[in-house]
A and B are shown apart, each in its own frame.
Chain A
C-alpha cells in the first residue's frame, strides 16, 4: 500500500493528462462531467433552502414583501441580467474555442467573461450602497417608509419588510459570493490556458467551470423576477 500515485508509470500511449486510475481519456472526461453535474445538484439544494424561506414569507407577508420589492431599482437589476446573460454567452464561446483548440480565442473569451462578471459585481455593489443609504439594510438602523403601489393608506410593517431585505441580502449575497469564486476559477483557467495546458483532447476544466458559471447565471435568472419583478404591478 505504498503511495506511488504521483510516480505512476505512464506508457507511451498514455497521455500525460490521463490520471492513473482511468482507462481512457473519455472515461476521465465523463467522470469529471458527472461529478460537476452532481455538484450543481447540491448547489440547487443549497439555494433551495433560501428559495423555500422566500416562498413561505412571501405568502405570509405578501403586501410588505411587495412594498419592499418595489423599492429596489429594477433598471439596475435588468442591466445586470443582461450583463450576466452576455457573460454566459462569452463563456459558452470559451468552451467552444477550447473544444476547437483555439487557445488564444479561449483566453480572450475568458477575459471577456471575467470582465462582465466584474461589471455585474460592480452594479451589485452600487445597489447595496443605495440600500445602505436608504437605511434598508436589516439591523438596528433599519427603517422603511415607502408606500405600496396603489395602496397609499397601507403602512408596511417594519419587521416584515426587514424580513424581505434579510432574504434579499442573503440570496443576492450568496449569489455574489458564487460569482467571486467563479472569477477566481476563471483566473486559474486563463493562467492554465496561457501555459498551454489545454488541447482538443483535454479541456475538462474549461467545460466544468463553464457549467458552474452557467449555473450561477441560472440562479440569477430566478432571483431577478422573484426579488425585483413580480411585485411591480399589483399591490
Chain B
C-alpha cells in the first residue's frame, strides 16, 4: 500500500488515477441517473427545483473537471507516453505523483461540498449569481476546480517536457505515434488555458471573501468579463478532452486496419491546429449574452474553421480503413462508435456556430445533445476503446472478447437512445436545466431515460468483466494485437524502467506493412 501511495512510477500513478477517476465517473453517473429519473415525468415528483439545480451542477462539475479532462491524459497518457517514446519515465516523476495528490485533494474538497449540500450555480459558476447570491459553498467548489486545474497544468507540463527531452535515440518527431502528437497538443492547451480559469476562480473567491469586486455590477464590474475569461479556458478545455481521444482512435484504426495512418502528417498537425484555433472560438458560447454583430461574425467564422482540422482527421481515418485488412475486435468497435458519434456531435456543432440557428437553440436540449455526442460519444467511446486495447499491456491479461463486443454494442445503442431524442426535444423548444416540462415532451424524455439505463449497463458491464479478467483472463503476452509501436515491444505489464534494453528506434510509426504476421481473430 505504501509503495503505491509513494510511487513515482508513471505506470502505477496511471493506475492510481484509474481508480480515482472511475470513482468520480460513478458519482457523476449517479447524478445523471437522478436527473434522468426526475425527467421521466413532466411534473417535479422526485425532486424540486432547488435540488434539481444542485443535481445538474454536481453532474457538470464532476464530469467536466474530475472525469472528462483527466480521463485520457492522466490514465492512458500517463501510462503510455513514456512507453511510446522509449523513455524510462516522465521527465518529472515526483511532480507526476504530486498531480495525483492534487487531484485527490480537489476531489475530497468537492465531495465535502456534495455531502454538505452542493452548489446550484451550474458548472459554469456564472457571476453575479455565484458571487452575490449562491450559497457560500461556491467558494469551496471553486477552490476544488482551482486545485484540479493545477493537477492538469502539471500533467501537461510534464508531457511537453517529456516529449521534448526524453525520446529514445531515433525517435524523431516524424516517427512519433499520433497518440503522442495528440497529447502534445493537449498539453499545450492545458498549460496555456488552465491558468486563466485558475485566476478567474481566484477572483470569484476574492470577491466573495474580501469584496474585491472585479465582476460586481454594483461597482461597474462586468459579468460578461467573467464569461469571456471562463470560456477562454473552458472552450479549449473541450479540446483537452477530445484531442487525446483522437490520439487513441488513430492507434486503434491503424492497428485493426493493418495500415499506416493515411495522411500521417495531416493528422499530426491537425491536432496542433485544433489546439491553436481552439483558443480563438470561445465567444461562441456567448452569442446571446451580448456582443457586437461583428465580433459574433468573426467567432462564428472561426468556429466553422476549426471544423476543418477535425474533418481532416475523420476523412484520413476513413481513408486508412479503405483497402485495409479491417478486423472487428472490441477496441475497433468502440472506434467505429467514436467515428459515427463524433461526426454527429461535430456537425451539430456547426449548426450551433450558425448565428441564426444558435439563437433558436441556445440553452435548449439541442446544445445538451450536441456536447454529449462529442464528450460521451467521442471521449468516453475512445477511452473505452483505448482501455480495452491497452488492457493487456497494463494488466498482462486479456479481457473476454465476446463480452467486450457486447458491451460496446450496448453502450452504442444506449447512447443514441439517450441523446438523439434530446436533439429533437431541443429543436422543438425544451430548455435545458428545468426540472419540469410540458406533457407533450414526455415521450421523447421517456425514450431518453430508457436509453440512459441501457447506457449505464453498457458502462457497468465492462467494470465487471475487466475486474474478472485480472484473475481469470487469458495471459496476454507482450503483443496480443501484433501492433506496431514501442509499447508493444516490452513485456506486459512492463518492468519498472519500461524496457530491459534501452530502445533504439529505426522504424517509422505504424509500419504495419513490415509486420508480416496476421493477428488471430479472437
Q: How many A-B residue pairs have CB under 8 A?
A: 137
- On whether A1 and B214 interact (CB within 8 A), knowing A46-B195, A47-B199, A61-B220, the answer reads no
8 A Cβ contacts from A38-80 to B: 38-39, 41-43, 45-50, 52-53, 56-57, 60-61
Let me know if A21 and B166 touch, CB within 8 A: yes
- On whether A157 and B166 interact (CB within 8 A), knowing A35-B92, A38-B157, the answer reads no
- On whether A166 and B213 interact (CB within 8 A), knowing A3-B12, A4-B496, the answer reads yes
Stretch at the interface among B100-108, B204-212, B254-262, B361-369: B204-212
Closest chain-B Cβ to A11's Cβ sits at a distance in Å of: 14
Interface residue range, chain A: 35 or more
B91: Cβ under 8 A from any A Cβ: yes
- On whether A138 and B210 interact (CB within 8 A), knowing A1-B12, A5-B496, A31-B161, the answer reads yes
B494: Cβ under 8 A from any A Cβ: yes
B203: Cβ under 8 A from any A Cβ: yes
How far is A65 from B200 in the complex, measured between Cα atoms in Å? 21
How far is A27 from B502 in the complex, measured between Cα atoms in Å? 16
Residues in B with CB closer than 8 Å to A30 are 165
B57: Cβ under 8 A from any A Cβ: no
B164: Cβ under 8 A from any A Cβ: yes
B88: Cβ under 8 A from any A Cβ: yes
How far is A192 from B195 in the complex, measured between Cα atoms in Å? 30
B36: Cβ under 8 A from any A Cβ: no
- On whether A42 and B497 interact (CB within 8 A), knowing A53-B214, A60-B220, A162-B213, the answer reads no
Interface centre among B157, B211, B212, B229 (most CB of A within 10 A): B212
**What 0/1 readout, one digit per residue, does chain B (144-172) give for beta carbons within 8 Å of chain A?**
00000000010001101100111000000
Let me know if A163 and B221 touch, CB within 8 A: yes
Residues in B with CB closer than 8 Å to A169 are 210, 212
Closest chain-B Cβ to A159's Cβ sits at a distance in Å of: 4
How far is A50 from B198 in the complex, measured between Cα atoms in Å? 11
Closest chain-A Cβ to B395's Cβ sits at a distance in Å of: 10
Query: Which of B91, B200, B496 touches A3 (beta carbons < 8 Å)?
Result: B496
Stretch at the interface among B2-10, B62-70, B118-126, B264-272: B2-10
- On whether A50 and B497 interact (CB within 8 A), knowing A3-B7, A34-B164, A159-B218, the answer reads no
Query: Which of A3, A42, A159, A170 touches B212 (beta carbons < 8 Å)?
Result: A170
- On whether A162 and B219 interact (CB within 8 A), knowing A21-B88, A34-B165, A45-B192, the answer reads yes
**What 0/1 readout, one digit per residue, does chain B (176-214) give for beta carbons within 8 Å of chain A?**
000000000000000111111011101100110011111
B87: Cβ under 8 A from any A Cβ: yes
Let me know if A49 and B196 touch, CB within 8 A: yes
Closest chain-A Cβ to B83's Cβ sits at a distance in Å of: 12
Q: Which are the 6 A-B pairs with shortest beta-carbon distances?
A: A49-B199, A46-B195, A21-B88, A45-B195, A159-B219, A166-B212
Binding site for A on B (CB under 8 A): 3-4, 6-9, 11-12, 87-89, 91-93, 95, 153, 157-158, 160-161, 164-166, 191-196, 198-200, 202-203, 206-207, 210-214, 218-222, 225, 229, 493-497
Give me 7 A-to-B residue pairs in the complex whose CB atoms sit less than 8 angstroms apart, sorted by A's number: A1-B495, A5-B496, A27-B165, A38-B160, A42-B153, A49-B200, A56-B225
